[in-house]
Structure 1
C-alpha cells in the first residue's frame, strides 16, 4: 500500500510540473512600457571602512548636481549604482573625476546593457596628471600620448595645453590601474642628447601608500610593512605627488536625488 501511495505522489508531482511548464503569459505590444533611458555607473569606494549610505548619496549628488536628477542604490558587496537620466549629466561626472567620499576614492565603470553590475571589473580611475619639467620643444600631442601611456591608459590632453605661452606644467587625462603603484617620474630625451626627468602630480588624489605607492590604503595597512615588521621601510612616495586643488564644498545633494524620501533628506 505504501508503495502505491509513493507512485501516486510522484505521478501527481510530475503532472503539476508539466502544468507549470505549459503555462505562460503573452504580452501585447501596446502593453509594453517604454522606460526612460538611463545612464548607469557602478562603483565602489577604496576603503575598508563602512560607508554611511545616506550621507554618501547626498554628498555625491551635491558635488555632481545633475540637471535631470539621479538615483543611488546600494547593490551590496560594497558596490553602488549611480543612475543618471541624461547623458550629459553622466559625462560631466566622468570628465570631472576622480571623486572621493571621506577621503576614499570612488572607482567606477559605465554599465553596458548586457553587463552584470556585480561582476564588472572595478580597478581603474580616470585622473588628471600634471606633468612638470617638460623640455622645450617636446610639447606635442604625440609626446603627451607617450607620457600618458607610461602612467596608465592615455585618455586625452587638456585642450588648454597647446594654447598661450609657456606653462609650469601640462595636464594629461589618464586611466590609472588602482592595483598598481603610482608613477612618480619618467625619463625623456631627444635622440643623441642627455636624459631629463619629467615629474608627475595627481589631481584629487585620495589616500595612497607612501611605501608601495598604491591608491586606497596608507602605510599602516600596507602588506609590505606587515611582511617586514622588524625592518625600517623607506618611504619612496609622499604628499608631493598630490597636486594642489581647489576646495569643493560638500553641499547636501538631496535636491538632485530622485530616490530620497523627505525624512531621509532632513
Structure 2
C-alpha cells in the first residue's frame, strides 16, 4: 500500500469537524527534497528506554569512521536522520550493519520523503549468518539462496567466482525480522537421500537479545514468555549457540562482489569491530581488558553510553543473566569492565 493510500485510509477513520476538514492547499510539485535520499537514511535504536541523541552520535561517529559531511538530526524518541557527504559512505555504513549503541542494535531504513520517520516501520536487520557443517554438495551459492530463506530475506551468499562456498560454514547476508525469534536451525530435506537434516545457524556481531525467547532488543524484565532452563542449565537461545565466533580468516578464493545475490546490494564491511556483549560475556576482538580500557581513554564520549545505562563489558558468567527458577548455581561476578 502506498504512503498516500495509508494517509487517506487514516483520514477516513477520523471524525473531523468542519474547521478541521478545511484543507490547506499547497503547491508542492516543485518543492526540493529536504535531504538527498541517496545520501541519507533513518535510524532507530532498539531500546526500551530513551537514549539521548548525543549518546547516539558519540557511538556512531567513530564506529562509522567519522565520514566527511556526516550529520545526525533528531526524528523522535530513539529515532534519528543520518546524512552523509556521499552516497558511497551511506551505502558502506548500511552494508556494515549491524551497528550498536552500547548493547542496543540500530535499525536502518532508507528515507521515504512521503512518510514521517515516526510512522516508518523498522522491522528488518541486515546481518551475516552462518550455516554450519553443510555437506560439500550443498556448499553452492544457488543452494544457499534456497537454504537460507527461512532465516530471512537473503541478499547474497559469499562464494567464489563460480559460485562455490568454502570453509566450515556457508556465509549469507540476510535481513531478519526483528519481531520474530532468531532462527537456530534450518532443516533441509534432500530428494536425493530421502532424508531431512537440521543445520545449526549462527550470527555475526549479534546484538542484545533475550536468551529465553530469542527476540532482539529486550530482556527478562519485558519478556512475555520466559523459558525454563534445560538439563544443561541453558536457555533455548543461549549465546554460545547463536553467537558466531569472530574470525579474521578470509575464505580462499572468495569475493563478496562475485557472490550470488538475491537483490542489489553494495559489497562492503563485515560490520562493526567484531566485539559484542552476550549475556554478560564479552565476545570477539577487543574484548580484553587492556583494549577496552584503552578505548575509554581514546573515546571519552563513551561516558555518554554509561549515562544511558549501558555497560559495555561485564565479566560474569552467562548463568548470571539467567532467570531464577533453574537449579543451577549462579556464579558471582568477579569484576566489572567499563569502556
TM interval, shorter chain, is 0.7 to 0.9
Q: 1:140 to 1:77 in 2, by over 3 A?
A: same
* Bigger proportion of residues as helix: 1
Contact in 1 for aligned 2:131/2:200 (Cα 8 Å): yes
The structure with higher relative contact order (CA 8 Å, sep 6+) is 1
| Aligned Cα root-mean-square deviation (Å) | 3.2
Answer yes or no: is the 8 Å Cα contact 2:139–2:164 preserved in 1.
Answer: no
Query: What aligned pairs does 1:47-86 form with structure 2 within 5 A after superposition?
Result: 47-86=47-86
Residue 136 of structure 2 aligns to a residue whose secondary structure is coil
The normalised TM-score by structure 2 is 0.58
- 1:129-180 Cα offsets, whole Å, 9 max, x none, are 0111111211222211112211011111124596888411121000011000
- Conserved? CA contact 1:61–1:252, under 8 Å: no
- Once the two structures are superposed, the pairs formed by residues 68-217 of structure 1 within 5 Å of their partners are 68-159=68-159, 166-193=166-193, 194-217=195-218
**Helix, strand or coil at the partner of 1:109:** strand
Cα distance between partner residues in 2 of 1:162 and 1:99: 31
Corresponding residue for residue 260 of structure 2:
none
TM-score (normalizing by structure 1): 0.73
Aligned counterparts, 1:213-224, within 5 A: 213-224=214-225
User: In 1, are the aligned partners of 2:131 and 2:202 still within 8 Å (CA)?
Assistant: yes
Please give the residue correspondences for 1:16-55 in structure 2 after superposition, counting only pairs within 5 Å: 37=36, 39-55=39-55
- The Cα shift of 1:41 comes to 1.4
- SS of alignment partner, residue 58 of structure 1: helix
Instruction: State how far apart, in whole Å, the 2-side matches of 1:82 and 1:151 are.
Output: 28
Q: Kindly indicate whether the alpha-carbon contact (under 8 Å) linking 2:159 and 2:165 is maintained by their aligned counterparts in 1.
A: no
Q: Offset at 1:221?
A: 2.5
- Rate the CA distance shift 1:197–1:162 in 2: closer, same or farther, 3 A: farther
Deviations 1:177-233 (A, max 9, x none): 1000110001224214132221111111111111111111123431113xxxxx846
Question: Any stretches of 5+ residues in structure 2 without a counterpart?
Answer: 1-23, 247-273, 275-284, 287-294, 302-339
Partner residue of 1:238? 238
Distance 1:97 1:207 in 2: 14
- For 1:260, the equivalent position in structure 2 comes to none
Q: Distance in 1 between matches of 2:236 and 2:149?
A: 22
Q: What are structure 1's unaligned runs of at least 5 residues? A: 1-20, 226-230, 255-266
Query: Judging changes above 3 Å, is the alpha-carbon distance between structure 1 residues 107 and 33 closer, same or farther for their aligned structure 2 residues?
Result: closer
Q: Hey, what does 2:278 align to over in structure 1?
A: none
The one-character-per-residue Cα deviations of 1:72-118 (angstroms, maximum 9, x if unpaired) are 11222331111112110011111111000110001121103333222
